[in-house]
A and B are shown apart, each in its own frame.
Chain A
Amino acid sequence: MAKVKGAIVVDTVKCKGCGVCAANCPTDVIQLAKEVNDKGYNYAYMAKPDACIGCASCGLVCPDSCITVYRVRA
């Protein structure tokens, strides 16, 4: 099976830290940061970037459309 590698870019300005992306990530890549953005929200980030498979589940469920997903076949 070809190995698939993914990565996400979170718009940390728009992210409201709801955590729905983290709950939907099948490989537990996403966590909420200890730091906050300008509005005081703990934004989402890739805590385990190596595990990301670029499935876009996080992007699909993100209510604020702040996740962009990339995927490449390694």
Chain B
Amino acid sequence: MTEVEKVIISPENLVYSKPSVLTDNVMHYCPGCSHGTIHKLIAEVIDEMGIQEETIGVTPVGCSVFAYNYIDVDWQEAAHGRAPALATAIKRLLPEKYVFSYQGDGDLAAIGTGEAIHACNRGENIVMVFVNNGIYGMTGGQMAPTTLPGMPSSTCPAGRDAGRDGHPIRITEIMAQLPGTSFVTRQAVHTAAAVRKTKKALKKAFENQTAGKGTSFIEVVSTCNSGWKMTPVKANEWMEEHMFAYYPLGDVKDL
């Protein structure tokens, strides 16, 4: 460390550090995985709102199944796809708590589509975080309902053929049509600007819970660089080029 650095690196000059709600555990995610960034943003929002003791999360099945090891709040582990159902129960029994579910696309957009849509339609006063990387990351990169046409995966190595495999599903647009949702948005975490926007959206979603506005649904378009067989930086570029064309970023509904 140089003399100049020694002067700069002191507590009064601190501008950015790990939020205290995030534990010191080393995350099991692959290098460059978007899950880590999204976990951090949720932790920052909980930290800033001072609701660590009042927050209950629901973990899904998928790579983020161990989210409870990283964000230091109370958690429940749901069966595959059933996080919104469990979050509904928790919020109804403990209405003063902040409840959020955290699910991937294999969990929310495939096996759990029914639970997710009905929770949004009932307007449960919860936050739903939906991490969409277009693939089943945990089980080896199989095709998911969200896989893009032409996008290769381990079960469609030549790319998804929409005629044979069907079309990718835009869950967020579906949720926006339901009367129970109050805030539906699609964000990403590949650049500093995108990270700031996602954090703002998460904060708004948690604040909506205080106001009792109904379901807040936040999709985060993400990468799975291991599943996509790319470097983390290349995966981010591929996502900007291809994923954003089919999954455009921005607020879909904001009441």
How many pairs, one residue from A and one from B, have CB atoms within 8 Å of each other in the complex?
Answer: 104
Known A9-B9, A61-B195: A20·B16 in contact at CB below 8 Å: no
- Nearest-Cβ distance from residue A19 to partner chain B, whole angstroms: 5
Q: Does B2 contact A (CB under 8 A)?
A: yes
**A14 to B28 alpha-carbon distance, docked (Å):** 11
CB < 8 Å neighbour of A65 from B9, B15, B31, B40: B40
**A38 to B8 alpha-carbon distance, docked (Å):** 28
Determine chain B's interface SS by DSSP, over half rule: mixed
Q: How large is the interface on A (under 10, 10 to 19, 20 to 34, 35 or more residues)?
A: 35 or more
- Nearest-Cβ distance from residue B172 to partner chain A, whole angstroms: 22
- Nearest-Cβ distance from residue B91 to partner chain A, whole angstroms: 28
- Nearest-Cβ distance from residue B196 to partner chain A, whole angstroms: 7
In chain A, positions 15-58 with a C-beta closer than 8 Å to chain B are 16-20, 22-24, 41, 46, 49-50, 54-57
Counting from the closest, the 5 A-B pairs by CB-CB distance are: A63-B36, A18-B32, A16-B31, A57-B192, A18-B31
On A, residues with C-beta under 8 Å from B are 5-7, 9, 13-14, 16-20, 22-24, 41, 46, 49-50, 54-57, 59-72
Beyond A16-B30, A19-B232, list 19 extra A-B contacts (CB 8 Å).
A7-B5, A9-B9, A20-B232, A54-B13, A54-B15, A57-B191, A59-B16, A60-B192, A60-B195, A61-B37, A61-B191, A62-B40, A63-B33, A63-B40, A68-B16, A69-B17, A70-B9, A70-B14, A71-B13
